[in-house]
Chains A and B, each alone.
Chain A
């Protein structure tokens, strides 16, 4: 797609109208609140769980995960599909949901899924090795770059989808990702405050 062209993307990110933060903020707020309301409705319909502490703790963790995923999902949706990080985040969430679904199915059928997980981990390791080799090979071309930019590995791990980006789009996506994270935290804080007052 044309959006993968870094020059075009840079031009777009310089455009103040393209994805302004206030627009993202209201979209995120609306999506996240809608998800919370939906969650609350489902919680009402669920039978109250038993009082044993381990199950209630598990229940609390499950609820936390749902809120966290809802927050990330609405943030990625609000950012739009033009962003690489939001697409990566959405596909990661989808993948995770598939995995938990598989896990639940396997526990129902009493079939272990450890074998599958091991295979996935092995594949990931292989990919990482390949990437490292590529980086070493292409590293020679980057000698003129400012120091420290060649090993942006830490940042790549923190930005969704960062592992496959070239340095220019990584920096661009990181800037946008940070803006969205700040918005996410702001909105969640204000919802929390709103709750505490009422």
Chain B
């Protein structure tokens, strides 16, 4: 029952989506990737864009992890942190 429902929903969903929309979205995605940003979109395959997107997201996540670790250390060690935080909050 549930599988039939989801299948019909998917079909109605796909009928609305055209190839142009997808290529448009893929090229938009390509513009966000530093590796592929400067290349012409017709030179790069969609699979390549997806692969690079995955790599980029993984790198960003790793960077955010490292920064979280650094910030948590700083938060634990510095005494003036609270004042500095409030100041930076006011500064922005």
Given contacts A141-B14, A182-B60, contact A168 B75 (CB under 8 A): no
List the A side residues contacting B16 at CB < 8 Å. Answer: 6-7
Label chain A's interface by main secondary structure.
helix
List the B side residues contacting A177 at CB < 8 Å. Answer: 57
- A39–B92 touching, CB < 8 Å: no
A71 in complex: contacting residue of B54, B64, B80, CB < 8 Å: B64
- B45–A166 touching, CB < 8 Å: no
Given contacts A37-B86, A146-B19, A149-B22, contact A178 B80 (CB under 8 A): no
A149 in complex: contacting residue of B11, B46, B82, B89, CB < 8 Å: B46
Label chain B's interface by main secondary structure.
helix
State the Cβ distance, A71 to closest chain B Cβ, in Å.
6
Q: List residues 146-172 of chain A with CB under 8 A from any CB of chain B.
A: 146-149, 152, 154-155, 158-159, 166-168, 171-172
Smallest CB gap from B45: residue in A: A148
**Surface stretch bound by B, among A89-97, A101-109, A112-120, A189-197:** A189-197
- Once bound together, how far apart are the Cα atoms of A52 and B65, in whole Å? 25
- Once bound together, how far apart are the Cα atoms of A182 and B32, in whole Å? 10
Q: List residues 48-72 of chain A with CB under 8 A from any CB of chain B.
A: 60, 63-64, 66-68, 71
**Does residue A23 face the partner (Cβ distance < 8 Å to B)?**
no
State the Cβ distance, B84 to closest chain A Cβ, in Å.
5
- Once bound together, how far apart are the Cα atoms of A148 and B47, in whole Å? 4
**Does residue A26 face the partner (Cβ distance < 8 Å to B)?**
yes
- Once bound together, how far apart are the Cα atoms of A176 and B67, in whole Å? 21
B75 in complex: contacting residue of A39, A130, A146, CB < 8 Å: A39
Other A-B pairs beyond A67-B71, A195-B81, 13, CB < 8 Å: A26-B92, A68-B68, A146-B19, A147-B47, A152-B50, A155-B54, A175-B29, A175-B32, A178-B60, A182-B60, A188-B68, A192-B74, A195-B78
Which A residues have a C-beta under 8 Å from some C-beta of B?
Answer: 6-7, 10, 26, 29-30, 33-34, 36-37, 39-41, 43, 60, 63-64, 66-68, 71, 130, 133-134, 137-138, 141-142, 144-149, 152, 154-155, 158-159, 166-168, 171-172, 174-175, 177-179, 181-182, 184-185, 188-189, 191-192, 194-195, 198
Which B residues have a C-beta under 8 Å from some C-beta of A?
Answer: 3, 6-7, 10-11, 13-14, 16-17, 19, 21-23, 25-26, 28-29, 32, 45-48, 50-51, 53-54, 56-58, 60-61, 63-65, 67-76, 78, 80-82, 84-86, 88-89, 92
A-B contact pairs, 22 of them (CB 8 A): A33-B89, A34-B89, A37-B89, A39-B75, A60-B73, A63-B75, A64-B68, A67-B69, A134-B7, A137-B7, A138-B10, A158-B57, A158-B61, A175-B32, A182-B60, A185-B63, A185-B67, A188-B68, A191-B88, A192-B71, A195-B71, A198-B84
